[in-house]
A and B are shown apart, each in its own frame.
Chain A
Amino acid sequence: MGIEKYMNDINANNIIEVKNLVKEFKGLRAVDDITFSVKENEIFGFLGPNGAGKTTTINIICTLLSKTSGEVTLGGYNVARERNKIRNCIGMVFQDPSLDDRLTALENLYFHGLLYNIPRSALKERSEEVLKMVNLSSRKNNLVMTYSGGMKRRLEIARGLLHYPKILFLDEPTLGLDPQTRNKIWDYIIKLKKSKNITIFLTSHYMEETEICDRIAIIDEGKIIALDSPDNLKNTIGGDIITILSEENVKLKKYIKEITGSDVHDAKEGEIRFEIKDSSSFIPKFIKNSPVKILSISARKPTLNDVFLDLTGREIREENASARDNLRMRMMRRMRH
């Protein structure tokens, strides 16, 4: 990427503008007065725990849900008044599968093409093109019902791109997939970003997955609590994260506060944690001078999870718990519809 392109990106127009958006469901504020914008051709991410308001916001932007108040425009069109214009320029990959599994991949694409008024002469070629991109060409005539979860998701990405949208929305694109398949999906997304001029708006509650974003909004309980590039967000943490297991936490905490001036928090399993710049020179000195016996000590670079922890005092859902949680979330969603 040349410097010119980079400068262009910085000055690029905002493709999505959200101002003071509020959405209430029967008294519950699912989205609580949020304001942000998405620049053209960037990968923009929503990071936050389940139920933070990510999907609700996306559903409002993509015209599926009405807003309680606020202003939302996409490509200059107003979401409340110019729905079909917006629908024409967005591609969607929803959190839950939205394919017709009694039809083949090619038929799913064909119907999508008709709905988006793609000329029939171009439709066949484009279908082949997007199927090739997600490596499904050889299975194009199979019923979707015979597909694995990862294949379905890839087909949905392909379908979302069929009408050449300006923006592709990916709502938890890797939810419920195994780690290997998840990596593959992200490979496709990165490849897509490199090969096409397209804005990508994604949500995830997997921290490491949002690192590919140009900018991330961290969202919690319906509010945006931080918005910046992943690196800048991580830089808000004062250096490296140190976790210590000691014989006497209370005394140690006091000591650390004294010598470093930084706040010390309790972490999992009786450990304590704090942040320090330049951990590699700090640790040897610290162990030598510590008034309490240190059982274990570790230092690492901050992650987005630490940023979230720092901002909210709690962790975004742990990955290990996600299979069960996802199931619960899905059941809750079912009941809500």
Chain B
Amino acid sequence: MKKELIGVYTIWLRDIKRYFRDRPRIIASFAQPILFLFVLGTGIASSFSTFGGGSGGDFLNFMFPGIVGMTVLFTSFFSAMSIVWDREFGFLKEVLVAPISRTSIVVGKLLGGSTIAMIQGAIILLFSPLLKIPITFVIFFKIIGIMFLVAMTIATLGIVLASVIKSMQAFQVITNFLLMPMFFLSGALFPLNNTVRWMNIVAKINPLSYGIDSMRFAMLNNPAFQLYPLWLDIVVLASVTVVMSILGSFLFSRQD
């Protein structure tokens, strides 16, 4: 048992070490959220008056948790998918032939990806004073907890996919056909309660929409923005995580 825990720790530590060594990646990870929040967000907010919908003053506030969610989504998903990368460049074999179970590898990878996603998300939180969103200590820790849960959920999806697809080429396809739709239909950029019916249905089966919802709850606590009660968000995220991690361990452990 102790051996397996050390195994989990090793896999986790490698991901963390690689993350902090990759300075360009850390800096680049600021670019996308800033672009979304301050260019797209400000643009859309100011267009409300053009289309006769009031001042749009709360829009940036509404969008902020969505952008944090976006950061968590992409970071944890790609961290988990780095298994595909490791397979391509050979390192995965070193891990697979080591005397630790496949489950420990999966858990280590999940925790590594989630930790990095949490760090990235926390960095985005630094922008909250600019939007005048008060983040107290209590709120901060609530958000950290929720970010971790959301990151785990997404990372388990990444593990499942990484166990099924075996080539780098499929990577791009998944980004375009799964990750982007997941993001757009998560309520991160616009409220889902007033959209067309099909969008609403898709959002209901999209685990990320529960993640964004709970993050919005922790940051803003504005009932007008909430889709579901918090307990439901957490139950859905936790269940998806459990089911997907079992599935992911199973798929990853399969031998050819």
Contact = CB atoms under 8 A, between A and B. Distances in A.
Interface string A83-124: 011011010101011111111000100011011110000000
A96 to B, nearest CB: 5
Contacts of B6: 114-115, 117
B91 A99 contact: yes
A65 B90 contact: no
Contacts of B14: 100, 103, 111
A111 B96 CA distance: 13
B7 A115 contact: yes
B256 A117 contact: no
A98 B90 contact: yes
Contact of A66 (B18, B87, B93, B255): B255
A103 B95 CA distance: 15
Contacts of A25: 256
B90 A97 contact: yes
**Size range of the chain A interface in the assembly:** 20 to 34
A118 to B, nearest CB: 10
Contact of B98 (A87, A99, A100, A335): A87
Given A65-B256, A94-B90, A99-B90, A115 B95 contact: yes
A114 B9 contact: yes
Nearest to B7: A115
B54 to A, nearest CB: 50
A67 to B, nearest CB: 9
A230 B98 CA distance: 33
B255 A103 contact: no
A87 B97 contact: yes
A116 B90 contact: no
Given A102-B18, A116-B98, A334-B167, 15 more contacts: A84-B99, A87-B98, A90-B97, A98-B92, A98-B94, A100-B18, A102-B21, A102-B22, A103-B14, A111-B13, A114-B13, A115-B6, A115-B7, A337-B87, A337-B88
24 contacts: A63-B97, A64-B93, A64-B255, A65-B255, A66-B255, A84-B100, A87-B97, A88-B99, A94-B93, A96-B93, A97-B89, A97-B90, A99-B91, A101-B89, A102-B21, A103-B14, A103-B17, A103-B18, A111-B13, A114-B10, A114-B13, A115-B98, A116-B98, A337-B88
